[in-house]
Amino acid sequence: MRLKLVPSETNWDFFRFARFTFGASVLAVVLSIVAFFAFGLNFGIDFRGGTTIRTESTQSVDVAAYRAALTPLGLGDVSISEVFDPTFGEDKHVTQIRIQAQDDQEAITSDTVTAVQEALKVNDPSIRFTSVESVGPKVSGELILTAVKAVVLAMCAVLIYIWLRFEWQFALGAVAALIHDVIVTIGVFAAFQIRFDLAIIAALLTIVGYSINDTVVVFDRLRENLIKYKKMELRQVMNLAVNETLSRTVMTSGTTLIALIALLVLGGDVIRGFVFAMTWGVIVGTYSSVFVAKNIVLFLGVKRDWSKPSGDAGTQFGNIDA
């Protein structure tokens, strides 16, 4: 007996409330842009600059105790993570502490480093600092620019691939869905002031890949149905394609969410921002694959006879299995 989250055959009209769902997506994008400019992003140390302290101790690391010891110092954004390496001996425990730049200074002062060391020695007298390195605002600004370029180039690559694989209408629908996912995710981080660092950029790129994967699956079934049902209305063909791939979509997103929610609850503070971005991205990415990408393709229309090449799209790669 197999578990079925979705019946074998469904006939749900996903475009019945197309105006409302698409309107809600447009509203979410607008509100996200407003939140971004009104509140800004709560940049982490990666983007604001700060100091990284590497410590060693003979005692096992208690991240919660370290954090509690540093909280009274009022250092702002502090990231503490334990470093694991198979070459370390049983009595060698290493941590990495990252402290945001204080008062727009490139590095924290020596007095602050001393205060941090004394606070940690209360819990762990054997602790010692092996290195203290700083990242200045200039480097942080370059990281922001590089991160933006990475996201934009990823979307451009997706646009070109979908255009060659299908048609320009599909490409515009897919990229619009990706832009929707990225902007709404950034809007949530701006509205709730969740820490935004390089790990979140990695999450955004992963969201782009996950979302386009789901979109391409439905697009591929849509193309097959456009050839098979040449006289059926485009809206009905699109509904059929979404219904036929619904079970796969629910199972894929559902199993991914189970793992992500477990990490969100049990993973700890170090990866919580990344996991939250991924969890939100899976949800909004699944939504946009149906209610954003498909609505745009429905609005633009597509050709119905795929046996003839189109002069307006690079469909010469349309028959390649990829």
120 lies in the same domain as 254: no
1 occurs within a structural domain:
no
Q: Rounded mean pLDDT of 283-297?
A: 85
4 occurs within a structural domain:
no
Tens digits of residue pLDDT in 209-247: 888 888 888 888 888 888 888 778 888 888 888 888 888
270 lies in the same domain as 290: yes
22 lies in the same domain as 80: no
Token pair belonging to 180? 């929707």
The pLDDT value recorded for residue 104 is: 59
Tens digits of residue pLDDT in 249-265: 888 888 888 988 888 88
Token pair belonging to 146? 């590089």
Model pTM above 0.75: no
84 occurs within a structural domain:
yes
Residue of 189 and 304 predicted with greater confidence: 189
Report whether pLDDT(169) > 70: yes
The pLDDT value recorded for residue 103 is: 62
313 lies in the same domain as 202: yes
Give the total number of structural domains in the chain. 2
Report whether pLDDT(316) > 50: no
Q: Rounded mean pLDDT of 72-99?
A: 78
28 lies in the same domain as 174: yes
The proportion of the chain whose per-residue pLDDT surpasses 70, expressed as a percent, equals 84
Query: How many Å apart are CA 301 and CA 304, to the nearest integer?
Result: 9
Report whether pLDDT(33) > 90: yes
74 lies in the same domain as 188: no
Tens digits of residue pLDDT in 179-197: 888 899 999 999 988 888 7
Looking at every residue in the chain, the average pLDDT score rounds to 79
* CATH code of residue 61: 3.30.70.2040
Q: Rounded mean pLDDT of 112-129?
A: 84
Among residues 135, 159, 192, the one where a domain terminates is 135
Report whether pLDDT(304) > 70: no
* CATH code of residue 170: 1.20.1640.10
Task: Identify the CA nearest to 195 among candidates 131, 273, 135.
Answer: 273
Among residues 72, 101, 135, the one where a domain terminates is 135
Residue pair 294/225 in contact (Cβ under 8 Å)? The answer is no
Report whether pLDDT(299) > 70: yes
Report whether pLDDT(298) > 50: yes
10 occurs within a structural domain:
no
36 lies in the same domain as 184: yes
270 lies in the same domain as 150: yes
Report whether pLDDT(31) > 90: yes
11 occurs within a structural domain:
no
Residue of 103 and 315 predicted with greater confidence: 103
179 lies in the same domain as 303: yes
Report whether pLDDT(70) > 80: yes
3 occurs within a structural domain:
no
109 lies in the same domain as 199: no
Phi, psi of 165 (to 5 degrees): -75, -35
Report whether pLDDT(320) > 50: no
Q: Rounded mean pLDDT of 58-83?
A: 82
The proportion of the chain whose per-residue pLDDT surpasses 90, expressed as a percent, equals 7
Report whether pLDDT(27) > 90: yes
Please state the three-class secondary structure of the chain as a single string.
CCCCCCCCCCCCCCCCCHHHHHHHHHHHHHHHHHHHHHHCCEECHHHHCEEEEEEEECCCCCHHHHHHHHHHHCCCCEEEEEECCCCCCCCCEEEEEEEECCCCCCCCCHHHHHHHHHHHHHHCCCCEEEEEEEECHHHHHHHHHHHHHHHHHHHHHHHHHHHHHCCHHHHHHHHHHHHHHHHHHHHHHHHCCCEECHHHHHHHHHHHHHHHHHHHHHHHHHHHHHHHCCCCCHHHHHHHHHHHCHHHHHHHHHHHHHHHHHHHHHCCCCCHHHHHHHHHHHHHHHHHHHHCHHHHHHHHCCCCCCCCCCCCCCHHHCCCCC
6 occurs within a structural domain:
no
The pLDDT value recorded for residue 321 is: 46
- Work out the pLDDT band at 166, boundaries 50, 70, 90: confident
Among residues 135, 169, 196, the one where a domain terminates is 135
125 lies in the same domain as 159: no
Q: Rounded mean pLDDT of 126-155?
A: 76
276 occurs within a structural domain:
yes
Q: Residue 273: give the domain boundaries.
A: 18-42+140-317
Report whether pLDDT(35) > 90: yes
153 lies in the same domain as 295: yes
